[in-house]
């Protein structure tokens, strides 16, 4: 986008839940809003316009740097007002694939507007276990100028399913906030942090519980601590009971930020051998707390983690290897600490807010 045009550029961002409930996509949306506001302020552009479909007005923070409006249950109002706002905008960012039809309506109303879609993971994999691709979406996706994907893994899965040209995609990793503390590990705990909803079965927390049974038989002293809440909790608790490792598996539920930081400080390593990560932001957070991480080999996490350097990648179906990798990190605290430091260095060089903002600026700058 040429500078003379950019000075008058209007930016519209359409999102689903953003401030009204916790979650990875919600935090991502908040970062997009903050980055767009900062970019617009630095370049002297108009304030970005933010329309959030599901949040209520009480959820929205007071800010003068972005014009944020929440629509709650007023879906038709959301669509109509977004189409009207598009008339005065050069770029429309879509926060989720479910908003693609609204984006197309905006494009029909304002044909010159550029559409950019953020994609996060399983919502665009066309995997029936998570979300099937709608029959109309591949055709609608042709209207997109760019698709900003949090990982190459997710971009590849979407390209295969939607038949979108490879040149449409741009890598746009997630980010975390740095922490002002010295990481320290004071225990032999294994920590995992995940929502335990029905659709999160692919986090493979049950594999960790099965690994705990092997570690118990081998007299490896450790405790698995699970942070998170959801319908899978009772099922996982039953598995721990069945395997006679209740005393080695602690369910902490949903915790405060302070309690979570304490759990990190009491852990030796972080493990989540997932097969459904579109990126794996929990690994970045663990690294900042000085922990090595164990991830799965079947999703985007293996793209983020360098096996043997800042963590270990394990097939979630191989419980023997999973248990062996956990035991190795417990037995070699110096190695675990070195991996944690390497991970923290990676986060601070690639995955902080300044990187997120810079990548967003690049996408905006290259739009014709």
**Chain segment 183-231, per-residue pLDDT in tens:** 666 678 999 999 999 889 999 999 999 999 999 999 999 999 999 999 9
Mean local confidence (pLDDT), 341-348: 97
Residue 108 has pLDDT above 90, yes or no: yes
| Separation in Å, CA 67 to CA 34, 82, 113, 353 | 11, 13, 19, 21
Q: Sorting pLDDT into bands at 50, 70 and 90, what band is 62?
A: confident
CATH 3.40.50.2000 residue ranges of the chain are: 3-175+352-366, 189-350
Q: What is the mean pLDDT of residues 327-350?
A: 96
3-state secondary structure the chain: CCHHHHCCCCEEEEECCCCCCCCHHHHHHHHHHHHHHHHHHHHCCCCCEEEECCCCHHHCCCCCCCEEEECCCCHHHHHHHHHHHHCCCCEEEECCHHHHHHHHHHHHHCCCCEEEEEECCHHHCCECCCECCCCCHHHHHCCCCEEEECCHHHHHHHHHHHCCCHHHEEECCCCCCCCCCCCCCCCCEEEEECCCCHHHHHHCHHHHHHHHHHHHHCCCCCEEEEECCCCHHHHHHHHHHHCCCHHHEEEEECCCHHHHHHHHHCEEEEEECCCCCCCCHHHHHHHHCCCCEEEECCCCHHHHCCECCCEEEECCCCHHHHHHHHHHHHHCHHHHHHHHHHHHHHHHHHCCHHHHHHHHHHHHHHCC
Q: Which region among 96-100, 118-122, 181-185, 300-304 has the lowest average model confidence (pLDDT)?
A: 181-185
Residue 235 has pLDDT above 90, yes or no: yes
Q: Is the pLDDT of residue 233 over 80?
A: yes
CATH number, domain 3-175+352-366: 3.40.50.2000
**Is the CB of residue 185 less than 8 Å from the CB of residue 263?**
no
What is the C-alpha separation between 100 and 179, in angstroms, rounded?
36
Q: If pLDDT is split at 50, 70 and 90, which confidence band does 64 have?
A: confident
Query: What pLDDT, on the 0 to 100 scale, is given for residue 184?
Result: 61
Instruction: Report pLDDT for 1.
Output: 47
- How many other CB atoms are found less than 10 A from the CB of residue 350? 12
Angle at 328 between CA 326 and CA 331, to 5 degrees: 110
Mean pLDDT of the chain: 94
Q: Which fold has domain 189-350?
A: Rossmann fold (3.40.50)
Structure confidence at residue 146 (pLDDT): 98
Query: For position 7, what pLDDT does the model report?
Result: 42
Residue 28: predicted pLDDT: 97
> Is the predicted pLDDT of residue 269 greater than 80, yes or no?
yes
d(CA 322, CA 94): 38
Mean pLDDT of 126-137: 94
Percent of the chain with pLDDT over 90: 91
Q: What is the pLDDT of residue 221?
A: 95
On the question of pLDDT at 68 being above 90, the answer is yes
Output the pLDDT for position 368.
78
């Amino acid at each position: 986008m040429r500078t003379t045009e950019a000075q008058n550029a209007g930016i519209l961002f359409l999102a689903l839940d953003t401030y009204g409930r916790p979650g990875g996509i919600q935090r991502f949306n908040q970062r997009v809003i903050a980055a767009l506001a900062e970019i617009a302020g630095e370049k002297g552009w108009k304030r970005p316009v933010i329309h959030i479909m599901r949040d209520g007005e009480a959820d929205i923070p007071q800010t003068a740097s972005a014009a944020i409006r929440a629509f709650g249950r007023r879906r038709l109002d959301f669509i109509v007002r977004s189409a009207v706002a598009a008339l005065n905008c050069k770029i429309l960012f879509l926060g989720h694939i479910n908003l693609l039809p609204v984006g197309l309506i905006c494009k029909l109303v304002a044909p010159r507007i550029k559409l950019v879609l953020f994609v996060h993971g399983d919502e665009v994999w066309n995997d029936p276990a998570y979300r099937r691709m709608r029959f109309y979406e591949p055709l609608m996706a042709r209207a997109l100028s760019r698709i900003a994907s949090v990982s190459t893994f997710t971009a590849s899965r979407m390209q295969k399913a939607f038949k979108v040209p490879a040149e449409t995609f741009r890598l746009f990793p997630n980010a975390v906030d740095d922490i002002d503390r010295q990481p320290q590990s004071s225990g032999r705990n294994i920590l995992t942090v995940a929502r335990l909803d029905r659709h999160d079965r692919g986090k493979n927390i049950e594999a960790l519980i099965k690994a705990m049974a092997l570690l118990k038989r081998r007299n490896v002293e450790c405790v698995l601590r699970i942070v998170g809440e959801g319908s899978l909790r009772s099922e996982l608790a039953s598995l721990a009971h069945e395997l006679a490792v209740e005393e080695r598996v602690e369910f902490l539920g949903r915790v405060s930020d302070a309690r979570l930081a304490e759990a990190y400080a009491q852990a030796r390593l972080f493990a989540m051998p997932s097969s459904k990560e579109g990126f794996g932001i929990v690994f970045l957070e663990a690294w900042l707390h000085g922990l090595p991480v164990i991830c799965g080999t079947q999703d985007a996490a293996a793209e983020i983690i360098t096996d043997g350097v800042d963590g270990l990648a394990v097939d979630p179906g191989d419980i023997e290897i999973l248990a062996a990798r956990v035991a190795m990190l417990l037995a070699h605290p110096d190695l675990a600490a070195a991996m944690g430091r390497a991970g923290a260095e990676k986060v601070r060089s690639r995955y902080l807010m300044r990187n997120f903002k810079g990548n967003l600026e690049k996408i905006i700058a290259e739009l014709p």
